[in-house]
Amino acid sequence: MNIFSAYNFLQKRSVAILAISILLVWSATAGFGQPAQKSQEISEADGQPVLLKHLPDYTSVQSSAGFFADKPGLKSAVSDQPVLDVVAFDGGTEAVTAVYPQGRLVIIEYTNPQASIEADTKVQQFIGSTQPNFVYRRIGNYNAFVFGTTDAAAAGELLDQVKYQKTVQWLGEDPYILKKLERYMVTTSKDIMISTVLVIVLGLAVSVLAGIVTGIIFFRVRDQRRAGRAAFSDAGGLTRLNLDGLSE
């Protein structure tokens, strides 16, 4: 009886261990096959990625908006766009997309300007070698696309609404402070020199104009006074030549 009970106990334990093992393997496989899309910046208000809020008029396109932290996920939402194959999607790169009347907007954000510039170079090379069916623009560290558009001007206006809203704050002393001050001094000095030259030229022009006006008024007044004078002659009634035009 004891042997039979021990056998049943071991059998039940084996089944439980097997079930738990299968569950753990399935969970690990599911987690590996479908990685969570996590953003580096999460809004404290609603827990959504901050990049989503940078979509133009986000509240009206929220139902079609999507966030992606890898290229396969982005390509699954934006299919048949070969330009995405030439764009690198390194660690930390994030993307959002939403559908607008002008087309599907895609914003890819890189973690540094160098990566964004490198992606921009590849996209420009792709545009130069093909006839693209999209409108593209680099905005800060954003590389923005409007796919499926039929109006390039309207797509450009949509891209105008995309604003790069990131700022860099140094924890210590800004290593570029001297260059910024030098640039500020050069710009300020140039503005002062231009303003000084303009004031001098304007002063000379006003002086010349005032001199001309004053001279004209002076000669007009003198002519009027001369015209009102009586004829004068010291020739004793003799005929004389009117050489100066003052006597008759």
Give the containing element (helix H, strand E) for 218.
helix 177-227
- Write the pLDDT tens digit of every residue in 192-223: 888 899 999 999 999 999 999 998 998 888 88
Residue 169: predicted pLDDT = 59
Residue with tokens 């303003």: 195
pLDDT at 79 over 70: yes
Instruction: Summarize the confidence of residues 107-112 as an average pLDDT.
Output: 91
Identify whether 236 is part of a domain.
Answer: no
Identify whether 125 is part of a domain.
Answer: yes
- Which of 41, 108, 43 has its CA nearest to residue 74? 108
Q: In sequence order, which residues have a C-beta less than 8 Å from that of residue 71 and are 6 or more positions away? A: 84, 87, 89
Residue 132: predicted pLDDT = 86
Q: Is the CA virtual torsion 176, 179, 183, 185 positive or negative?
A: positive
Are 150 and 179 part of one and the same domain?
no
Identify whether 8 is part of a domain.
Answer: no
Q: What percent of the chain has pLDDT over 90?
A: 39
Residue 20: predicted pLDDT = 67
Are 109 and 195 part of one and the same domain?
no
SS3 89: coil
Number of domains in the chain: 2
Are 86 and 55 part of one and the same domain?
yes
Identify whether 59 is part of a domain.
Answer: yes
Domain that holds residue 190: 175-227
Confidence band of 136 (pLDDT split at 50, 70, 90)? very high
